[in-house]
Chains A and B, each alone.
Chain A
Amino acid sequence: MTTLVVIIFYLCLLLGLGFLSSRLFRGTSKDYFVASHSIGPFLLLMSVFGTTMTAFALVGSTGKSFERGIGTYGLMASISGLVHAGIFFLVGIRLWAFGKKHGYITQIQFFRSRFDSDRLGYLLFPILVLLVVPYLLIGIIGAGKTIEPVTAGAFTEIFTNPSAPQWLGGIPPWLTGLVVSLVVLTYVFMGGSRGAAYANTFQTIVFMVMGLVAFVYIINGLGGLEQAGKVPARINDAGVLVQDYKFDRKAGELQKNEPPKPIGKVLNSKNSNLTNKQPHLSRTPVLIEFKKKHPKTGEISFFERELGIPFITFVSYFFIPLSVGMFPHLFQHWLTAKSAKAFRLTVIAHPLCIMVVWVPCVLVGAWASGVLPPGIPPPAVLSAMLKLLVGDPILTGLLTAGVLAAIMSSLDSQFLCLGTMFTNDIVVHRAGTKKYTDKQVIMIARLFIVLIVALTYVLAMWAKDANVFDLAIWCFSGFSALFPVVFAALYWKRATKHGAVASIISALLSWLYFFHLSGYGGEMVIGPGIIPAAVCFMVATIALIGVSLLTKPPSEETLKKFFPRG
């Protein structure tokens, strides 16, 4: 109960921040959508980092590391440090220049102008919404999965149908999702982009600090750093995956399992020498058969899981971080930043911020393999570790608030960005600037945001058991398949309107095809282990180049506008 009170207090604090930023709101649509171009270097870094690192970073990375081990970091975090910084530098600054020079605030405005095509905007808008939705979903799903375990036991009389028996009385995911959606909606409603930027900065600091505090407490719970390194599950000489330790709640300490507890057996691996190896600490692919107990019926069943990362999959993950080049909210940040110099801090600090958040999460996920049952849903691993190892309810509440901060700091920018695009690129673009007053424009944006929040909530309840990491990867895959369009728009004079349309449609169709094959959000690789993002990217690139070369080049006027001398 105390944990819940702390979480509620944090949510109230956020609402207060939204109220304060609403006092600074100037009442104009420009201020609502882009905070009148007043976002400086620190707010930009916090906003970009906070938005990029969502449930995916905390809940997803811990869960993925629990499934596949420490390779999760190289798969997403370190390559993102390289590729994101490269894109901020090569794409972000160039977009800022065109936003500043020609007054664009959304990516659709930029593409319409660069490719001299009105219809391109109508094609792109629904696709961007379609691809953002999975990213919003993981926030709502992640929040639900986090709160239920840490509040278990608080309302045993009211919430009698938990996701797992040990979480009886915990706040159910549907209620958490509803509250989180309403809180984010409220402060975005009140403060617009300025409110979102302040809330983002505050929440990013909260989740980074709380993440480090949680890490320290988890280490202490496991008996210190060196002891923690011994905890991950181990393969014994009979090819059985065992847990050498257990956490005794009453004694509040880690104890040795005598004999080690078997949790699975090795079915297949290319590495013949696995004896006494901890597969979560390397990247060797090992196929393991686990057994799990059904949470409600108690029935025992078996499931297979591949630990480690196949090398080809690892290499092809390079395509995933390219997605930042087409994320609508980042595009908007780039177009509307105060100055080009505002990017400098982000280019340098972004990889370091990723490291500070991801290294602890990946370690906790790997350590969790030694103390949690293998059948636990991956998105619940982080909160289960907090619940198991951090006894103090106030601290657990603060740490959970940190996880919620990461989730909400991403949702707000996305909601706001979709509202901005819908209003500027669809409504005002069709009706003309004189049809609606400034207040009406803000109202239309707010109504659209309410609609998107409601849609996201319903979909999140439908897909409540989806894997947060895998769903995020699908979202990134779609955006990375659109990356050739923005890169060509900025660097290839011969890129044409028809080439861009062909590329966008090819990206969409190939993405939908693979998404369907994956069972709508499952983990999937093609052939020897190539991820679908790589194939979608290639298809979209070929379509862009081929069709552009076959169609009429852009006009001299367009080239003058987008390819300045020097």
Chain B
Amino acid sequence: MKNSSYSHGKKVIWLLFFVLFLLHQDFWWWDESALVFGFLPVGLAFHASFSIACALLGWAAIKFAWPHKLEQFAEGEINEGVEKR
């Protein structure tokens, strides 16, 4: 993967991470006790869906932001040196 698309992928993943963090604070359903499918409280249903979204984000991070260079460094394919940070 080219450096620019890797860097772009990383930024999108960070953005999605931040969006998910905000969605986690679901104050809009705080007092709600209605049941989804007749048994699942809406607050719990939302957070269970949130867990699925986390798994999808993990998949996207592996697909678009996998640290190939770090892997190569560990396997000895890249020489050491100080990165710019």
A366 within 8 A of B: yes
A136 at the interface (CB under 8 A from B): no
CB-defined contacts of A89 to chain B, threshold 8 Å: 58, 61-62
Please tell me if the beta carbons of B41 and A366 are within 8 angstroms of each other in the complex.
Answer: yes
Question: Could you tell me which residues of chain A, from 321 to 363, have a CB within 8 Å of some CB in chain B?
Answer: 340, 344, 347-352, 354-355, 359, 362-363
The answer to the question of A171 belonging to the interface, with a C-beta cut-off of 8 Å to chain B, is: no
| Bound: A71/B24 CA distance, A | 12
Inter-chain contact A566/B73, CB cutoff 8 Å: yes
Interface residues of A in 18-46 (CB under 8 A from B): none
Q: Evaluate whether A77 and B74 lie within 8 angstroms (CB atoms) in the complex, with A491-B85, A565-B81 already known.
A: no
Chain A residue contacts of B58, Cβ below 8 A = 85, 89, 347-348, 350-351
| Chain A window 288-325, contacts with chain B (Cβ cutoff 8 Å), 1 for yes, 0 for no | 00000000000000000000000100110010000000
The A interface, classified by DSSP as helix, strand, loop or mixed, is helix
Q: Let me know if B70 and A355 touch, CB within 8 A.
A: no
Scoring B residues 3 to 42 as 1 if CB is less than 8 Å from chain A, else 0, what string do you get?
0000000000000010011001111001111010111110
Asked whether A97 lies within 8 Å of B73 as measured between CB atoms, the reply is yes
Tell me, in angstroms, the Cα distance from A36 to B37 when the chains sit together: 49
B54 to A78, Cβ gap below 8 A?
A: yes
Among B39, B43, B52, chain A packs the most CB atoms within 10 A around the CB of B39
Asked if A278 is at the interface of the complex by the 8 Å CB criterion, the answer is yes
For B41, the chain A residues whose CB sits under 8 A away are: 70, 229, 281-282, 366
Q: How many residues of B contact A (CB 8 A)?
A: 47
CB distance from A279 to the nearest CB of B (A): 8
Query: Do the beta carbons of A81 and B50 come within 8 Å of each other?
Result: yes
Q: Which of A185-193, A428-436, A553-561 contacts B (4 or more CB under 8 A)?
A: A553-561
Query: Once bound together, how far apart are the Cα atoms of A229 and B24, in whole Å?
Result: 24
Number of chain A residues close to chain B: CB under 8 A? 60
CB-CB under 8 A for A283 and B30, given A85-B58, A348-B58: yes
Contact count A vs B, C-beta below 8 Å: 161
CA distance A362 to B45 in the complex (A): 12
* Of B38, B51, B75, most A-chain CB atoms within 10 Å: B51
Contact of B33 among A74, A281, A363, A559 (CB under 8 A): A281
B1 located at the interface, meaning its Cβ lies under 8 Å from any Cβ of chain A in the complex: no
* CB-defined contacts of A350 to chain B, threshold 8 Å: 55, 58
Cβ of A96 under 8 Å from chain B: yes
A390 to chain B, nearest CB (A): 19
* B81–A315 touching, CB < 8 Å: no
A73 within 8 Å of B by Cβ? yes
Distance in angstroms between the alpha carbons of A71 and B74 in the assembled complex: 42
How distant is A515 from chain B, measured CB to nearest CB, in Å?
Answer: 27
A101: which B residues are within 8 A, CB to CB?
Answer: 73-74, 76
Q: Are B80 and A282 in contact (CB under 8 A)?
A: no
Across-interface contacts of B70 in A (CB, < 8 A) = 93-94, 97, 340, 564, 566
25 contacts between A and B (CB under 8 A): A73-B44, A73-B47, A78-B24, A78-B48, A78-B54, A79-B24, A81-B55, A82-B21, A85-B61, A100-B74, A100-B75, A279-B33, A281-B35, A282-B43, A283-B30, A311-B27, A347-B58, A347-B59, A350-B58, A352-B52, A366-B41, A560-B82, A564-B80, A565-B81, A566-B69
